[in-house]
A and B are shown apart, each in its own frame.
Chain A
């Protein structure tokens, strides 16, 4: 079986259909020349060249590869021109770059010129929107139409967020249809933004990393440190993928469904050759179809939810006949292509020598409990995990907003009122960051938030905002009912976390295993901050994004903690690691 997949191996992982890449540029990887094109990320170049293992983790020396592909997991750190720990997945290739794969922490070459000291800039705006996805851009468009001056801060290299992911500028699109409907929708929204460019400023590759006194946002943009004050703030920060560890999930070749999408949609690179998708919800079907389009061999799709009870929610599900029809057509195509559709099955383990070679799956019941005796293994080189999303609430937490635990979302969400305003006056939320609800809801919430934020900033009256928001609200009611039904059908049960062996790494950054965490809990604590201090879980680069939901799930499932009683880990700035050089400029004199 292994031999067969080897012979089938694709040498060129680039997807050539639909687009033309930028100019070919010369770079080296570990001293060897590698093919790269303008606009590609280092991660895409590595993936395209067939590199699975990118780095050895410092603590356990285990191999790691691309995992999240969106700059959040810090698993793909490489050394670029002597600068170690650069995220390959969100860093563009430049001509002449020397890329070295890292063993552990990498080496800092003090003979290389250091980073430029930061330059402090004070800035004011009427409305700032954090996040340039569907929610953020919808808010920007409506607020600008109403006359507001809007600044959109987005940490991504390109606007559009996860779903409307665009292609890098040097890429030329010959056949937009090949890129799917989301690409086209994103293009339409972005062209609206473009038309309002006199009032909307988009700031990409910029990170809000702290909130200082009197609601000043600290933003990094290259070597600039911007202190921004705004009359109104909209947090449209989106979501992170729900981590569901199993033995072997840190192996190169295991990546998130969203990560695989980034590679395919925005870099036009195949994440692998033979793929298993394991997760829950319709996104899996979307990704599996995109993979078929990309010419990949989708071996199986494992859905953890038994959708047998879906008929109970039928009245609400048929509120969105278009979406249901789309889902069914995806499923039909997968079955017709011969993709194994395993339902309800979950991923139990990933195996392989230094990279994914095999995945073990097990059958579960309607509450995700394992059914003994029903297991199967598939030979694959790539495993995509897609167990849904968790709202990213870092910013709203730092802004002091009240959060409530939402059992259907399986996470904490900011409280908001019908104006999409949080309990902090002038702070609004929209989109998946306010609770996972998908692109259609995100756009409408964004519009409502944009209107009321414009009103808060004094650009329009509250009555004007209310009138304009009315039509959005009616549509939202229907969408919400649909969403709630979907949430019920694709519920996350505690038993989803039943396959975390003691040896399974839970904290990917610090290499902390489930066994170490369990020992700490047995020593007498159910507190996330305490577990962090005792074990180092959550102390690494990703700021706990990819481990705290797992620890919380373990506390609930194994140790009887009530999920809603589990205190969030204390939020510390920065949101993501920032270079200390940023603080090295003339900061003191300016404050």
Chain B
């Protein structure tokens, strides 16, 4: 089997790379070990915001803003709507101390030129009636929306397939053999594959695919536990966020998606009562409606997180034909379009529109 470019990993990053490459006329073969979105992409609230902190590198901000608009634009190219809910995000503080805690984030967003609003508790409740009496203050970031993540990666994939790309499921890549600066072959459980280029978008599995090359990259699974509630006739378009990255969003079908802490426990995929009870309580303290709803599902996701919290986008130092696009942590959906675009530019043009030096593999392999 051969193709111009083989992409390893059928998550939101791999499919986005396939889409942008296919748009440039490249014939792509996507190899997925399990099924579409079976990793972190299948367990996400798929929130896309423009936000950051003072520590956010300029390069990441550019990708952020670009991706934010790109996803909305390319929806027209997809055969199904993305179920975009463009209601912005509310960051709620439950006391004075928390209010001081979220203030810098508010100021950052304002500095980025976004028309954010600071609200007192009563104003916030008026703005979003789901907020309960315990909310002390909140700020509103209009530059935030969420989509149906399944529709997003399926959309990327189907639009790539329409342009002549292919996907194979159940193909587990064991090793990418290199020959000088070229790809020799890709060894899998289904035999060898050949391509001029390889894009490694294996998420949490990226390190194990690189390990035969004796390249170590610090991507680890960061477990997040999720609660999905029954659907509900009360509707909100706002994402409601609290401290510690806890948030709720309501899907287009009316269910509330409640997430999520970050735990470093390897691939342990069982939920724990302690965590789900803890964040259900925190969220219901802010949004009392939640205590009236029933949980339909508890599940966990493993986000591929890099030790410095930045993604890895760029070629391997040892081989310019092996491009890595992994380690997006909690923000794979958010950066999917700009990552896919950058990877396609790297392969087709040899250079990218926005600088991606900050995401180079070399920062770990020196």
- A-side residues, CB < 8 A to B, are 58-59, 84-85, 104-108, 110, 114-115, 117, 210, 212-213, 218, 227, 510, 523-525, 527, 529-530, 533-534, 536, 539-541, 543, 572-574, 577-581, 583-584, 587-588, 591
Per CB-CB distance, the 9 closest pairs between chain A and chain B, nearest first, are: A587-B277, A530-B35, A577-B294, A583-B277, A527-B35, A105-B233, A533-B150, A583-B280, A572-B297
| Known A-B contacts A58-B254, A213-B270, A227-B273; A578 and B295 likewise in contact (beta carbons under 8 Å) | yes
**A530 and B298 contact, CB distance less than 8 A:** no
Interchain CB contact under 8 A, B167 and A588 = no
A580 engages B167 (CB within 8 Å):
no
**Contact sample, A vs B, 28 pairs, CB 8 Å cutoff:** A85-B230, A108-B292, A115-B291, A210-B271, A210-B273, A212-B272, A212-B273, A218-B273, A523-B158, A525-B36, A533-B36, A533-B150, A534-B36, A572-B299, A577-B294, A577-B295, A579-B295, A580-B227, A580-B284, A580-B294, A583-B273, A584-B277, A584-B284, A587-B273, A587-B278, A587-B281, A588-B277, A588-B278
Verify if B319 is at the interface (C-beta below 8 Å from A).
Answer: no
Question: What 0/1 readout, one digit per residue, does chain B (152-194) give for beta carbons within 8 Å of chain A?
Answer: 0010001001000001010000000000000000000000000
The minimal Cβ–Cβ distance linking B310 to chain A, given in whole angstroms, is: 28
Instruction: Say which residue of B35, B38, B270, B289 sits within 8 Å of A108 (CB atoms).
Output: B289
Indicate if the CB atoms of B274 and A588 lie closer than 8 Å. yes
What does the 1/0 interface line of B229-270 toward A look like (CB < 8 Å)?
Answer: 111111000000000000000000110000000000000001
Residue B304, interface by CB 8 Å: no
Give chain B residues whose Cβ lies under 8 Å from the Cβ of A572: 297-299
B contact residues vs A (CB 8 Å cutoff): 34-38, 42, 150, 154, 158, 161, 167, 169, 227, 229-234, 253-254, 270-274, 276-278, 280-281, 284, 288-299
- Asked whether B232 lies within 8 Å of A108 as measured between CB atoms, the reply is yes
CA distance A449 to B62 in the complex (A): 64
Expressed in whole angstroms, the Cα–Cα distance for A277 and B273 within the complex equals: 45
Task: Choose one: A104, A581, A591; the contact of B292 (CB below 8 Å).
Answer: A581
A108-B292, A115-B292 known; A584 and B271 CB under 8 Å?
no
* B contact residues around A587 at 8 Å (CB): 273-274, 277-278, 281
* A191–B42 alpha-carbon span in the complex (Å): 50
Complex Cα distance, B296 from A58, in Å, reads 16
Contact flag A108-B230 (CB < 8 Å), given A572-B297, A591-B273:
no
Say whether, besides A533-B150, A572-B298, A580-B294, A541 and B230 are in contact (CB < 8 Å).
Answer: yes
Name the A residues within 8 Å of B280 (CB-CB). Answer: 580, 583-584
- Contact assessment for A583 and B36 in the assembled complex, using a CB-CB cutoff below 8 Å: no
Q: Chain B residues near A114: list those with CB within 8 A.
A: 288, 291-292
Q: State the CA gap A536–B252 with chains docked (Å).
A: 12
Sample of 17 further A-B pairs with CB below 8 A, known A84-B233, A577-B230, A588-B277: A58-B231, A105-B254, A106-B233, A108-B233, A210-B273, A212-B272, A510-B253, A523-B154, A541-B230, A579-B293, A580-B227, A580-B284, A580-B291, A580-B293, A581-B291, A588-B278, A591-B273
CB distance from A58 to the nearest CB of B (A): 7
- The docked-state distance in angstroms from the alpha carbon of A527 to that of B169 is 10
| Cα distance, A568 to B277, chains bound together (Å) | 28
The distance from the CB of B327 to the nearest CB of chain A, in whole angstroms, is 23
**Are A534 and B254 interface neighbours, CB within 8 A?**
no
Name the B residues within 8 Å of A117 (CB-CB): 291
What's the nearest-Cβ distance from chain A to residue B78, in Å?
A: 13
CB distance from A70 to the nearest CB of B (A): 18
- Tell me whether A105 and B232 are in contact (CB under 8 A): yes
* Chain B nearest Cβ from A508, distance in angstroms: 14
Are A573 and B271 touching (Cβ within 8 A)? Answer: yes
Q: Is the CB of A577 within 8 A of B38?
A: no
- A213 vs B271: C-alpha distance when bound (angstroms): 9
The answer to whether A533 touches B278, judged by C-beta atoms less than 8 angstroms apart, is no
| B57 CB to nearest chain A CB (Å) | 33
Contact between chains at B233 and A534 (CB < 8 Å): no
From A58, A527, A580, residue with most partner B Cβ within 10 Å: A580
Chain A residue numbers with a CB within 8 Å of B277 are: 583-584, 587-588
Smallest Cβ distance from A303 to chain B, in angstroms?
Answer: 37
Please indicate the chain A residues that have their CB under 8 angstroms from the CB of B167 in the complex: 524
Measured between beta carbons, the chain A residues less than 8 angstroms from B297 are 539, 543, 572-574
| Residue on B nearest A118 in the bound complex, by CB | B277
In the complex, which residues of chain A have a beta carbon less than 8 angstroms from the beta carbon of B154? 523, 534
CA distance A31 to B158 in the complex (A): 51
Is the beta-carbon distance between A529 and B35 smaller than 8 angstroms?
yes
Q: Are A584 and B296 in contact, CB atoms less than 8 angstroms apart?
A: no
Q: Tell me the complex Cα distance, A240–B115, Å.
A: 54
> Is there contact, CB below 8 Å, between B276 and A583?
yes
- Cβ–Cβ contact B298 & A573, under 8 A: yes
Q: How far apart sit A573 and B150, CA to CA, in the bound complex (Å)?
A: 21
Min distance, Cβ B135 to any Cβ of chain A, angstroms = 15
Shortest Cβ distance from B171 into chain A, in angstroms? 13
What is the distance, in angstroms, from A332's C-beta to the closest C-beta of chain B? 48
Complex Cα distance, B35 from A443, in Å, reads: 41
A212-B254 contact in complex given A106-B233, A580-B229, C-beta closer than 8 Å: no
- Shortest C-beta distance, A13 to chain B (Å), equals 30
Q: How far does the alpha carbon of A105 sit from the alpha carbon of B293 in the complex, in Å?
A: 11
Q: Tell me, rounded to whole Å, the shortest Cβ–Cβ distance linking A127 to chain B.
A: 23
Contact check, A574 vs B158: say whether CB atoms are below 8 A apart: no
In the docked arrangement, what's the CA distance between A107 and B37, Å?
Answer: 34
B234:A108 contact, CB within 8 angstroms: yes
In the bound complex, do residue B290 and residue A580 qualify as a contact, i.e. CB atoms below 8 Å apart?
yes
CB closest residue in chain A, given B280: A583
Kindly list chain A residues whose C-beta atoms are within 8 Å of the C-beta of B298: 210, 572-574
Question: In the complex, what distance in Å separates the CA atom of A174 from the CA atom of B277?
Answer: 49
Q: How far is the CB of A552 from chain B (nearest CB, A)?
A: 15
Closest chain-A Cβ to B189's Cβ sits at a distance in Å of: 16
Taking CB atoms, residues of chain B closer than 8 Å to A525 are 35-36, 169
Residues on B with beta carbons closer than 8 Å to the beta carbon of A536: 253
Which residues from A are CB-within-8-Å of B293? 108, 579-580
Known contacts A534-B154, A584-B284; decide if A110 and B289 are in contact (CB<8 Å). Answer: yes
User: Beyond A105-B254, A218-B273, is A534–B150 a contact (Cβ under 8 Å)?
Assistant: yes
**B residues in contact with A213, CB < 8 Å:** 270, 272
Taken together as a complex, chains A and B put the C-alpha atoms of A540 and B255 apart, in Å, by 10
B296 in contact with A577 (CB, 8 Å)? yes
Contacts of B230 in A (CB 8 A): 85, 105, 541, 577
Contact check, A110 vs B288: say whether CB atoms are below 8 A apart: yes
Q: A588 — which chain B residues lie within 8 A by C-beta? A: 274, 277-278, 281
Partner of A540, one of B42, B169, B296, B299: B296
